[in-house]
Structures are given as structure tokens and as C-alpha cells.
Chains A and B, each alone.
Chain A
Amino acid sequence: MGSVTRIVLQRLGLGLLTLFIVSIVIFTAVNMLPGDFAEAILGQGATPQAVAAIRHDLGLDQPPVSRYLEWLADAVRGDLGTSFAQANFASFVGSDAGAGMASVADTLVPRFRNTMFLAGVTAAIAVPVSLIIGVLAALYRNSVFDKVANMATLTSISSPEFFLAYILILFLAVLNPWLPSLSNIYDGMGFGERLEKTMLPALTLTLVVTAHMMRMTRAAIINLLASPYIEMARLKGLSPMRVIVRHALPNALAPIINVVALNLAYLITGVVVVEVVFVYPGIGQLFVDSVKIRDIPVVQACCLIFASAYILLNLLADILSILSNPRLRHPK
């Protein structure tokens, strides 16, 4: 068991290192902006004094390395800075400097919770459905069902998310008003109502993610079907269902777990477009809005959150596939 702990710790350390380097990349990218934050806030009417005042206020007169360390230290403590959308000239140089402005963290936390809810609902639908369809497609391989499933999943993988979203809106919201096409979620909403409002975006994401997971499940199982022990099980006279579920599936679990985790990581990015389509108040919507108005602290923070979620889930995929595969668990 000792070697497993060591490998996991090794991977965790590697993940942290990646996250650290990614934060440097994000910080550097943002600092490639022409001019700086001060000029960005003030716009065209910037006087040299005002620019200098804001620079001092934000610590922009410090060298980049110390600014990076300070930003990182703040970010680790959960302080992601102040959103430009709430900041303006008066709030920086007026008497109430810094007062009455929402911090980035305050804006992010409720939206992050909403996005996690959406991702959770999607995963709860997508993972069982894709496993079942994948096993069925492997069981009835090369049948009509398999071919239809193959074509349908290939189509839904290659369609842009917004195409699927509008098709779902057309059929489930406009032509048959079963589900709301706008997800106006607010605090203090009941779970059932929240679930109903989240259903359409969750279904859209499910379509995208399920296709991928189902294809991988099918491929992983079919890969094993040529093995001698499957042949043996079949010759014993077991039913095809039992051969696949009891003999093939456990050995195919490692790649399947891997692909599930990778797809959850994909969900993190796919969420952006879907949230915009359904006006879902999540972190993706906030990210796109901030990109449009160039609200740098929010963009930076969202980017960091997306990147860490992505790295964490990839790490999880890595660790789980090591744990589920004895050959990786005891490297020679």
C-alpha cells in the first residue's frame, strides 16, 4: 500500500506544480495588456495624477514578481481582488476608497455554487445513461441499435453545444412547453423548482458528454471481448449479458473511470456556452460577460477556477486509473 500512497502524493505534487505554473501563465497573459489596469479603469479621460493614484492604490507600481506573489497569496486566502464592474474613478480616489465595492469572491461564490449544481445534475443523468447505453451497444454490437447509437452519438459529439441547446429549446420549450427555456435561478429557491429550471441546460450538456462516454465504454468493453477468459466464459454457456456485465465490465472499468473524469473536466468548459444560451447564472456566464467588458480581475479569477477544476479532475482521472489497475499500482 505504501507505493500507492507515494504515487498518489507524487501526482498531487505534480498537479500543484502545474497549477502554480498555470497561475504564472494567466498572470503573465493578463499583464501583457497594453497600458495597465489604471488606464483601463479610467478610460480616455485619464489624467497622469489619477493614473498614478490608482496605480499606487492597486500596487501597480511594484515590480511584477512581487505583484504576482501578492496576487497569489491573496488568491490562496480567497481574496481575488475587486471587480472593475463595480469599481470606478470615484471609488478609487474619493474619500470612500474601496468601500461599497463587491469583491470578486463575493460575486463568484453564489455563481460557482450554481455551476456546480448544473454540473452535478448533468453528471447524475449522464453517467448512468452512458454506461447503460455503452454496455447495451457492446452487447448488441453491429446490430441496428448499435449503428443508430453510433451515428447519433457521432452527430451529437460533432454538433456545437448551442445547436443542441436550440434544438432542445425548440422541442421541449417552444413547441411543447414542458420545461422553461430560461434558467432564472435565485437564492432561496426550492430544490424541485431549481431542478426544473436547470433541466434544459443539464440535458444539453448530457447529450454532449453522454456521447463521448458511451463510445468509450463500448470501445473499452469490445477491446476485451477477444480475450481468452471471455471466450472461456462464453463457452461455459453464460448469457451474453452476464459475460459482459460480470466478466468484461470490471476489467474495462479503468478506462471507463478515466473517461468519465475527463468528461466531467470537459463539462467545466462546455458549461460556458450552455450557460450563455440559457442565461443560467453560473460562473461561465459571468466569465463571458467579464470578457466582453474586460473586467480583468474577474476574468483572471474565473480562469484560475476553471483551470484548477480542470487540473483537479484530470488528476482524479489519473489517480483513479492507477488505483483501479493493479499493473499501474505496482510498477516494475
Chain B
Amino acid sequence: MIVVYIIVGVVALIAAGWVFRAAGRATGRPAFRDMDLSTAFGYALGAVVVVWGIYAFFFVEAAVFFRWAVQGIIGFAIAAWIFRFIGRHVGPDSVRRQFRAMPLTASFGILTILIYAIVAIFAGVLAPHGQAEVFANVNVLPGGDPALGGDPAFPLGTDQIGRDLLSRLIYGAQNTVGIAFATTVLAFLLGGTLGFLAATVGGWLDNLLSRMVDVLMAIPSLIFALLLMTIASAWAGSEKWLLTVYMVVIIAVIDSTRVYRLARAVGSSIVVMDYIEAAKLRGEGMGYLIFREILPNATAPLLAEFGLRFCFVFLTIASLSFLGVGIQPPLADWGTMVRDLSQFINFAAFSPLTAALPLMAAGAIALLTVAVNFVVDWMLHRSSGLKG
């Protein structure tokens, strides 16, 4: 039955596209004359989607989530535009120049990263309650309306044991993002140093390190992390915070293999340059070569890799926490929150705000990675010399 509907719909769209093109040709515009039917079909499909979206936004009562999503996207777009506008007209000249050729996605990314950083740093000030503070009223519904089982003191309600969800969401920024950031920095220190060392020294050290990295990279990273976390949890015993430290080290080591690859590749193409030869002949030491000669010339690719690596680490940590072996309670983190609140999604038809709770935590993760990806995309685009 569905198949019949789809076929009828496609045929109707093709017909609509044909009519649209024929009508356009009647005006005599060359753009319509050269248009193939598939492009016209695309325009018809796009028009239908837009009309349907407007209809659902204004007239369908049940499409709450769709409305929120549209409002969110429009809101973010406006915020990003305003941010770019401010960046273009305020501040020192060097900053303004950066903003001039910036696409909207990149300014959205930078704005989001800034907001996350502020929330993460000032979580203690912003959050109304402590992250592990337990209140007497459990399972308060979100919304803050006493008539519907809410409480103005807890705008997003409380969880099964009475912790304020808004505070935990805010502290989640500090814990999840902070730990992911520390892990990425560690992975870069480890992988970057070893990679540059392998590129400069070469020979047996390069071979040894590269083969070790090959072996570690042959095991899928999430699987390897889970295996090592099993062992770490046996080592940590009942010390929960120790397990978090182990997790940072484990993920840093696993991800440093990828950093090593890049640092070695970039490094070995720099090592053959004449200025390195000159520095070697001057009798400079290994440390000078790596930090003063190679590193400054490898910043652009490493910076982009830092952004991407951060996303991977962030997602891995969130996944581990979601699976229950990552960041341990009482620390609030988004992955664990998604898992704990996931059952609420079944109440979507009755209380959309309650169902949105797990999605907020998961969306907070997604939003940051999307933002970082947009910024990295823009940086790569700029450094590769492509314009437009």
C-alpha cells in the first residue's frame, strides 16, 4: 500500500515538475530551456517539502518536536548571524578580517563553542543546585508548573533520586567536555611528541613505534577501550574516581595512535626541508628541532586534527558513559544522563517536555561536535587556499 502511495507521489511530482518547466519555458528564460526534468522534479519536491513544513509548523497541533526543531534551527541561525555581524564591526582589525569571509556555519560553530566554554568554566555559578545534591522531592516533572506536577525551583524537574536535572545538565558541560578536552590534550602530547620524534630520528625508533601503532590501530577503538575498561575497573576496585582517571589514560593512548600517524606524516615531510638541514648543521639539539623548527610549521594540520580528535574522544567518552563504563557517578555527565532518562521518551505523546529530557543531554553532545566540525571544515577550507 505504501509502495503505491510512493509511486503515485513520484509520478505526480514529475508531472508537477514538467508543468513548472513548461510554464517557465513559456516566459522564454534560458535557465528553463536548459533545465532537465530531474532538476524540475527537484524543485517540485523542494516546494512540496517547504509547504508541508509550513503547514506542520502552523497547523498540526501534535508536531511539537518539529516546531521546536524548526524554532531551534532558526534561532541558532539568527544568533550566528548576529554574532558574525558583531564580529565584523567590533574589535581589533585582525579579528574583523577573520569574520569578513566567514560562512554562517563557522560563526555558528564558534559561537556554540564559546557558549559551551563559558558554561563549562562557570558551571558552579550558573547551576542553581549542586550536581550531586539530593532533594526530597523525586521525579518532579519538567516545566516548573505546580498544577502539572512541576516545581519552579527545578525548571527541568528532578530524577529518580531527587537530583536537579538542570544543574546536572550544566555540570555535565564541565565534566564531559572538561574530561574530553583533557584526554585530547594528553593524546596530543603523547602522539605528537612520539610522531615528531619518529620523524626526526627515523631508523629503528620510527620502525618500532610505527609497527606498535599499526597493531593498536588494528583493533577497533571502542572495542579496545571497552576491553581495557574491564581491566581498569578490576584495578580501580571501588574507587570510582580512579576509574575515570584510567579512562582518560586509556582513551588518550588509543587516540594518540591516530595523532602519531598524522604528526609523523607531517613531520617527515618537514624534516627533509632545507631549513631543518641548516638547523642540524648549526648543531641544534633534538628538542630545538622538534619544538622550534617542526612544530611551528605543522600547526595548521595539527590544529584541525585537534578539533576532529576532540570530537572522536568526546563521542567515545559519551558512548562509554552511555554504556555505563565511562564517567562514574556522582559526577554528572551527559552520556549517563541519556541512559538514565531514556525511558522518558515513551511519554512523548503526553508530555513532550519530559520526553525531550534525554534528547537534551544527547543533543548537547551532538551540538558541540557539530559545532567543532563546522569550525574545522572552515579552517581546512581556508588553509587549503580554496575560496568561495
- Give A residues with C-beta under 8 Å from B: 18-19, 21-22, 25-26, 29-30, 32-35, 40, 140, 144-145, 151, 154-155, 157-163, 166-167, 169-171, 174-175, 239-241, 265, 268-269, 272-273, 276-277, 287-288, 291-292, 294, 296, 299-300, 302-303, 306-307, 310-311, 314
CA distance A306 to B235 in the complex (A): 24
Q: Which residues on the B side are within 8 Å of A22 (C-beta)?
A: 215, 218-219
Q: Which residues on the A side are within 8 Å of B349 (C-beta)?
A: 174-175
Q: What are 13 A-B contacts with C-beta separation under 8 Å?
A: A21-B218, A22-B219, A26-B227, A157-B373, A163-B362, A166-B345, A170-B65, A240-B36, A272-B223, A273-B319, A291-B230, A303-B219, A307-B218
**Shortest Cβ distance from B46 into chain A, in angstroms?**
7
Interface residues of B in 215-232 (CB under 8 A from A): 215-216, 218-224, 226-231
**Shortest Cβ distance from B287 into chain A, in angstroms?**
32
Knowing A159-B369, A174-B345 touch, does A311 contact B218 (C-beta < 8 A)? yes
Q: Which residues on the B side are within 8 Å of A163 (C-beta)?
A: 338, 359, 362-363, 365-366
**Shortest Cβ distance from A206 into chain B, in angstroms?**
17
Q: Which residues on the A side are within 8 Å of B207 (C-beta)?
A: none
Across the interface, B223 reaches (CB within 8 A) one of A240, A292, A307, namely: A307
* B359–A307 CB distance below 8 A: no
Q: Which residues on the A side are within 8 Å of B235 (C-beta)?
A: 33-34
Stretch of B181-189, B294-302, B322-330 on the interface side:
B322-330
Across the interface, B234 reaches (CB within 8 A) one of A33, A162, A166, A170, namely: A33
* B348–A174 CB distance below 8 A: yes
* B322–A294 CB distance below 8 A: no
CA distance A154 to B369 in the complex (A): 10
- B contacts with A, residue count (CB < 8 A): 55
* A160–B324 CB distance below 8 A: no
* B220–A310 CB distance below 8 A: yes
Knowing A140-B39, A166-B362, A272-B226 touch, does A160 contact B318 (C-beta < 8 A)? yes
CA distance A65 to B82 in the complex (A): 65
Q: Which residues on the B side are within 8 Å of A160 (C-beta)?
A: 315, 318-319, 322, 335, 362, 365-366, 369
10 nearest A-B pairs in the assembled complex, by CB-CB distance? A163-B362, A158-B369, A159-B366, A269-B220, A174-B348, A306-B223, A269-B222, A158-B370, A158-B373, A291-B230
Knowing A22-B215, A294-B234 touch, does A288 contact B366 (C-beta < 8 A)? no
* B42–A140 CB distance below 8 A: yes
* A299–B230 CB distance below 8 A: yes
Residue of B with least CB distance to A159: B366
Q: Which residues on the A side are within 8 Å of B98 (C-beta)?
A: none
**Shortest Cβ distance from A270 into chain B, in angstroms?**
8
Interface residues of B in 310-349 (CB under 8 A from A): 311, 315, 318-319, 322-325, 335, 338, 342, 345-346, 348-349
CA distance A175 to B366 in the complex (A): 22
CA distance A158 to B105 in the complex (A): 14
Across the interface, B228 reaches (CB within 8 A) one of A29, A35, A155, A167, namely: A29
Residue of A with least CB distance to B219: A307
Residue picked from A163, A170, A311, most chain B C-beta under 10 Å? A163
Q: Which residues on the A side are within 8 Å of B342 (C-beta)?
A: 166, 277
**Shortest Cβ distance from B264 into chain A, in angstroms?**
19
